[in-house]
Structure 1
Amino acid sequence: MSRHERITPETAAAEPQAAETPASPPEAPAGRSRKRLVAVATAALLLAVAGWFGYGYWTTGRFLETTDDAYVTADVTLVSSRVQGYVASVEVGSNDHVSAGDVLVRLDDGDYRNALATAESRVASAGETLARIDAQINAATAGVRQAEASLDMARAQQRTADTDFERVRQLAADNVASQAQLDTATEAQDVARAGVASAEAAVASAEAQVAVLRAERAEAEGQRDELRLAAEQAQRDLDLTVLRAASDGIVANMTLEPGDLVAPGARLAALIPDGSLYIEANLKETQLAGVGPGASVEFTLDALPGQTFEGEVASISPATGAVFSLLPADNATGNFTKIVQRVPVRIALPEDALATGQLRAGLSAEIAIDIRTTPQPDATRIAAE
């Protein structure tokens, strides 16, 4: 107020009202304290959450090796034929469950039955040949015995001739026997000796005939064995015209129809054996330090949301996936760019996961391996080795 202004009753009455207006500012500190309380509470909540996650990481998270590059896999058995033929009938369809030994496909077996009958006929003919040779061997053996008897008789005659010759020779020396008698005795001795030689030759010939027949029999027996193997192969080919399931499982990708021509080795269908499912997780090479068979694994499946299962590391591949690729990388040529490699790790599925009946090969999974559960090697055993 200027010194030239005068205080009037109106101005004096207005001044108290003007003095009362600054009473509203005390509300500002209350608003600021409320905001401060909210900020403190938010910071405390964030700190608690950070502490919670930090505690979880420190106590558990840092021991987990995780990846979402994991899929349910199965040991697929490919169904193929080992013989050629036309499809006579298809006994099962895709997605049918079969037991080991169940018939899957039947091929036309007419040609194979004829081949089996021909092979069996040849085996029978070879058996008759062997029977004939056996009879010839028996006859030749009897001839050997006859020749040996003739040899014994010739030797007896020789002994008689030798005795007569000696007697006549002594008589001739004493001038009792004539020269003619000595000549006759000498001739008889020579004839007896020739008879013995002839009988010995007959025995040798008969024995040689037996040996020849036995050699023919061995050859015929070998031919019969070959024919018998051919018959067994014909029977095997006939049996192979019926394609059977190798194990219990589910048939998939059955593409055959009656009348189709099947070539040996061609893929006809696939069989997923029961209980053959497992998870294959592709871990980075930097994650393998503490991973080993027997480690506990928690995993979830995209096909079963909200469910967590616990498995176990079964084995680790001896090489990275790139080694088994169709065209492995050749890092010795051209410019080199380092790429983190991945190693397949097989994880065994628990019974409760298999019991759901919802698992299929190829389903996506997320896994977490607890490296604390990896069995440690026995220090005593290692020291002994």
Structure 2
Amino acid sequence: MPRDMDDGPPAKRHGSGTEHTRDEDRQDEAPASPWRRRLLIGGGALAGVLLLAGGGWWWWQSRLWESTDDAFLEAHVTRVAPQVAGRVAELLVDDNQRVEAGQLLLRIDPRDFEVALQNARARHGSAAAQVAEAGAQVAVRRAAIGQAQANVVIAEADLENAETSLRRFRSVDPRAVTQQARDDAEAQSRSARARVEATRQEVAAAEAQAAAAEAQRRAAEAALREAEAAITNAELQLSYASIAAPVAGRIANRGVETGNYVTPGQALLSVVEPTVWVTANFKETQLRQIRPGQAVDVKVDAYPDPVLRGRVDGIQRGTGARFSVLPAQNATGNYVKITQRVPVKIVLDDDRVRDLPLSPGLSVVPSVRVRD
């Protein structure tokens, strides 16, 4: 009896708890409200419609645009190199400094070139003196020709006089003149004839000497022109000691310091011009609808806001691989077809470009609008 009395109440309590739990389960398993079911169905349908609309919009937009992430900014980069060898005496620019066209960048020690210029000028003075001397010799030789020609005239007059006397002696009665007088007349005639021949030879000799003097004068003038060219060359070499900016832009890739010894053709620094454009390497399958003049939206990775405006300027006549250092040789080895890329030049027509520090080499994403 005590055990039954002790076990009764707990059993009753256990039965009450079980009934309470079953009541809660029945409430949870009750059917959902019709409005809740309709709301869930409507939300799912709306989500499906939005998804289809977004997919359709994306598909339509993809038909309007051609885009690539294989694109970079480009600019004209002028590499500055010396034309003469020497030690850098003065460096006047620093990295990233803006320079104008014609602005002095650096100076090479000019002393060797100044000495060479002085020597060239000295040789020019000597050549000028030789030209003057040769000109004087030409004048002397021409005067000698005139004197020799005058002697010829005198000799010819003496010859004519002597021959006249000889004819007179021969025309008179031999008994009227002595044999001695006749012999003297003949001797004077032969002597006058010889003097004429001698003076004529003197004229020829004077003319030959004048020609030699003229040749010397021409040689001296040639030497003078050579000396003038040497002066011009020395002045040019001296001017090369001062290196100026060929274009306006900013200094980049500076690899020279004051005191460095530089040689001709050695790259010292670069000048990057401010005008930039985009080189976009589109796949060959994307070029079907790309034409010069089409509008382009350009997003710069470094400055995503704002999106810049541009236009297609031109399409390169040749793929990038064709102009590489080692172009592919498809006629040898195993051929594997690879989709080629063609560089497309895009110019930026947006005034906001001036407010952005755009540099060549920055990555961009251009989108060409191929349909209106």
Interval of TM-score (by shorter of Structure 1 and Structure 2)? 0.7 to 0.9
Q: Please, what is the CA RMSD of the aligned residues?
A: 2.2
Shift, 1:175, TM fit: 5.0
**Identity, % of aligned positions:** 37
Quote the residue 1:284 is aligned against: 283
Shift of 1:213: 1.1
Aligned residue for 1:248? 248
Correspondences of 1:57-76 after superposition (within 5 Å): 57=61, 61-76=62-77
Distance 2:164 2:294 in 1: 105
Cα pair distance change 1:354/1:31, threshold 3 Å: closer
The reply on whether 1:36 has 2:41 as its aligned counterpart is yes
Return structure 1 stretches of 4+ with deviation > 4 angstroms: 24-28
Per-residue deviation, residues 358-377 of structure 1 (Å, max 9, x unmatched): 2111111111223459xxxx
Mapped to 2, the partners of 1:355 and 1:308 lie a distance apart of 14
1:318-329 to 2 correspondences below 5 Å: 318-329=317-328
Moved more, 112-121 or 177-186: 177-186
Are residues 1:301 and 2:306 paired? no
- Partner residue, 2:355: 356
2:8 aligned partner:
none
Map Cα deviations across residues 120-146 of structure 1 (whole Å, 9 max, x no partner). Answer: 111111111111111111111111111
Distance change in 2, residues 1:198/1:293 (3 Å): farther
Please show how residues 177-192 of structure 1 align to structure 2 within 5 Å.
177-192=177-192
CA distance in 2, matches of 1:159, 1:331: 100
Native 8 Å contact 2:75 2:274 kept in 1: no
| Alignment match, 1:369 | 368
SS of 1:270's partner is strand
In the alignment, the residues of structure 2 paired with residue 149 and residue 311 of structure 1 have an alpha-carbon distance, to the nearest angstrom, of 91
Aligned AA (1:135): A
TM-score, structure 2 length as denominator? 0.87
Q: Distance in 2 between matches of 1:38 and 1:207?
A: 122
What pairs with 1:122-141 in structure 2 (closer than 5 Å)?
Answer: 122-141=123-142
Q: Is the 8 A contact 2:294 2:311 kept in 1?
A: yes
Deviation at 1:46, TM superposition (A): 2.3
Deviations 1:239-262 (A, max 9, x none): 111111111111112222221111
Q: In terms of mean alpha carbon deviation, does 126-135 or 153-162 score higher?
A: 153-162
2:57 maps to: 52
- Which consecutive residues of structure 2, in runs of 5 or more, have no partner in the other structure? 1-25
Spell out the pairing of 1:99-178 with structure 2 (5 A cutoff).
Answer: 99-172=100-173, 176-178=176-178
Query: Are 2:263 and 1:230 equivalent residues in the alignment?
Result: no
Superposition deviation, residue 314 in structure 1: 2.3
Quick one: structure 1 residues 230 and 32, their matched pair in 2 at CA, closer, same or farther if it must change by over 3 Å? same
Unaligned runs of 5+ in 1: 1-20, 374-385
- CA drift of 1:87 comes to 1.0
Measure how far apart 1:190 and its partner are: 1.4
CA distances 1:307-337 after superposition (whole Å, capped 9, x unpaired): 1222122232222222222222222221111
Match of 1:212 in 2: 212
- Give the aligned residue type for 2:133: R
Q: CA deviation at 1:27?
A: 4.9
Shift of 1:162: 2.3
Question: What letter is aligned with 1:207?
Answer: E
Moved more, 291-300 or 70-79: 291-300
1:262 counterpart letter in structure 2: V
Deviations 1:184-228 (Å, cap 9, x if unpaired)?
222222111111111111111111111111111212222222222
For residues 350 and 229 of structure 1, the distance between their equivalents in structure 2, rounded to whole angstroms, comes to 49
| Aligned twin of 1:265 | 265
Aligned-partner Cα distance in 2 for 1:82–1:326: 27
Q: What is the number of residues matched between the two proteins?
A: 346
